[in-house]
Copies of this chain bind each other. A is one copy, B any other.
């Protein structure tokens, strides 16, 4: 019987890089959580412990912080692409690099109605993120960008039905033509190429996802997600496909009849577990090959 090393990856996870731009009195902040990883021919490191080809995770960390100053941090996608290329340059044994970045949003504090120059409050809905994968170098280089948003908690208090479903002997669910629909959305969309105005695209996709969640009359969370994803593909030719992972955060109508109180869709209990979990991909037929875009990510998001 022979045994061998299969897929592998190593790096430094969750570098909390905070970059302040202070060239003028009006400071800017970019607040990131950066995880880097390399994959490739690291057989010796595993089988004999020989580290000659291994660029330490500590070095990856140092580079993430140094590049925050040397290269600056604009859109997180650009920062991630730059880091990925650097690691492939510095690590001959690596065949691919994976850079994942989360960005936390800050708003300026208002003082007498005016935005303060250097004081901020964490706010906003959802956490922006990107996962960049680069395979190879020079002429063989291929770069894949998957950007997304997580923790986008949305709710609609009507405009959601659920009925006509398959029933078996374990089915007790009642049909409904009016319920609360709520989820903590995770969405990731793969870009078809890298000639993208990242910040602009992100802002527009996020706004579109929210808008369609609001306006689609829902017959199921699946149908809502598909409609949201279709809208993104229709309006954003730069996006090749989009994946969703959406817990159905159940809000159960509370039975107040024992107390002689009617409850026509007004009082709910927000439940924790179990929850429905809906995951789906919407893709365009002519999308380019996804290559390494989704490597080492969970099935959906």
Which chain B residues border A171 with CB–CB below 8 Å?
Answer: 55-56, 58-59, 62
A261 touches B70 (CB 8 A): yes
Query: From A171, which residue of chain B is reached at the shortest CB distance?
Result: B59
Given contacts A14-B273, A299-B297, contact A283 B4 (CB under 8 A): yes
Segment from A74-82, A137-145, A150-158, A196-204 that makes contact with B: A150-158
Q: What is the size, in residues, of chain A's interface with B at 8 Å between Cβ atoms? A: 146
A166 touches B110 (CB 8 A): no
CB distance from A68 to the nearest CB of B (A): 5
> Which of B3, B61, B69 touches A261 (beta carbons < 8 Å)?
B69
- Count the copies: 4
B274 touches A47 (CB 8 A): no
Q: Compute how far the CA of A90 lies from the CA of B282 in the bound complex, rounded to whole angstroms.
A: 26
Q: Compute how far the CA of A152 lies from the CA of B4 in the bound complex, rounded to whole angstroms.
A: 24
Which chain B residues border A45 with CB–CB below 8 Å?
Answer: 220, 222-223
Which chain B residues border A157 with CB–CB below 8 Å?
Answer: 20, 22, 27, 29, 118-120
Given contacts A62-B259, A259-B62, A299-B296, contact A274 B12 (CB under 8 A): yes
The 6 nearest A-B residue pairs measured at CB? A296-B299, A49-B219, A6-B281, A119-B214, A122-B153, A49-B223
A residues neighboring B (CB under 8 Å):
1-22, 27, 29, 31, 35, 37, 42, 45-59, 61-63, 65-66, 68-70, 90-91, 93, 106-107, 109-112, 116, 118-125, 152-159, 162-173, 180, 207, 210-211, 213-215, 218-220, 222-223, 225-226, 230, 233-234, 241, 243, 247-248, 251, 254, 256, 258-259, 261-263, 265-286, 295-300
Contact sample, A vs B, 12 pairs, CB 8 Å cutoff: A6-B283, A8-B280, A9-B300, A10-B279, A13-B247, A13-B276, A45-B222, A49-B218, A56-B165, A62-B172, A118-B159, A119-B159
